Amino acid sequence: EAQVTQNPRYLITVTGKKLTVTCSQNMNHEYMSWYRQDPGLGLRQIYYSMNVEVTDKGDVPEGYKVSRKEKRNFPLILESPSPNQTSLYFCASKTHGMNTEAFFGQGTRLTVV
Amino acid sequence: QKEVEQDPGPLSVPEGAIVSLNCTYSNSAFQYFMWYRQYSRKGPELLMYTYSSGNKEDGRFTAQVDKSSKYISLFIRDSQPSDSATYLCAMNEGKLIFGQGTELSVKP
């Protein structure tokens, strides 16, 4: 089954404790992206990757890191989480092209206390 | 100015109503326009996409693009409670750019 898998689905952590949210896709997609979704602000792009070893900042990259060492994986790293990073996070992937569909993971609800 | 603007709602309508959801955008170079639907506690899923100007119909859903006004719309005819979700417009120019999403509730 074609899918984007995020882990964990839910996470509560403390300020400053490094964490990683994993994202994996099995569709051989070149493009992968991370978004955060907050009430009233919609989906905001954190980072995206057009292919292996190619990453770019989105609209809200501060406080986040990513890496793309393999095509299927695109982890999101919070080196020192803060409460303002409490949010719902989505990973997405798609093939290149303007009319291609993006497939989303189920989301990771992160709470930083 | 945001590249894509969408009224977040919430929008509440009775079952059977015609729903109109809208987005405006600032970049006249955008050519590909998409609508995603997101049910509660789920990731967004592609509903429809259109290229350039004009209309596209799929069952009860019609997507409309007016490039001269930089305005896109999604119409839902005979709305059903199962249509209750957040609807996000998106522009696809290599990377995806989303609107804020409009939360729709269709009451039985």
Tell me the chain B residues in contact with residue A21 when contact means C-beta distances shorter than 8 Å: none
Query: What count of Cα atoms within 13 Å lies in the side-chain half-sphere of residue A47?
Result: 20
Which amino acid is it at B86?
A: T
User: Of the given ranges (A22-26, A93-97, B3-7, B50-54), which has the lowest mean pLDDT?
Assistant: B50-54
SS3 A52: coil
Give the pLDDT mean for A5-15: 97
Top residue of A3, A10, A32, A43 to mutate, by most chain B CBs within 10 Å, is: A43
**Sole residue written with tokens 């303002």:** A84
At B15, is the pLDDT very low, low, confident or very high (cuts 50, 70, 90)?
Answer: very high
The pLDDT tens digits of the residues spanning A36-90 come to: 999 888 889 999 999 999 999 999 999 999 999 999 999 999 999 999 999 999 9
Q: Give the containing element (helix H, strand E) for B97.
A: strand B95-98
Percentage of residues in chain A having pLDDT higher than 90: 87
- In degrees to the nearest 10, what's the CA dihedral of B78, B82, B84, B88? -90
The whole-number pLDDT of residue B29 equals 86
Supply the pLDDT for residue B1.
66
| A106:B42 CB<8 A | yes
Residue A41: its pLDDT value, please? Answer: 84
Mean of all residue pLDDT scores within chain B: 92
Q: A48 in contact with B at a CB cutoff of 8 Å?
A: yes
Per-residue pLDDT band for B41 (boundaries 50, 70, 90) equals confident
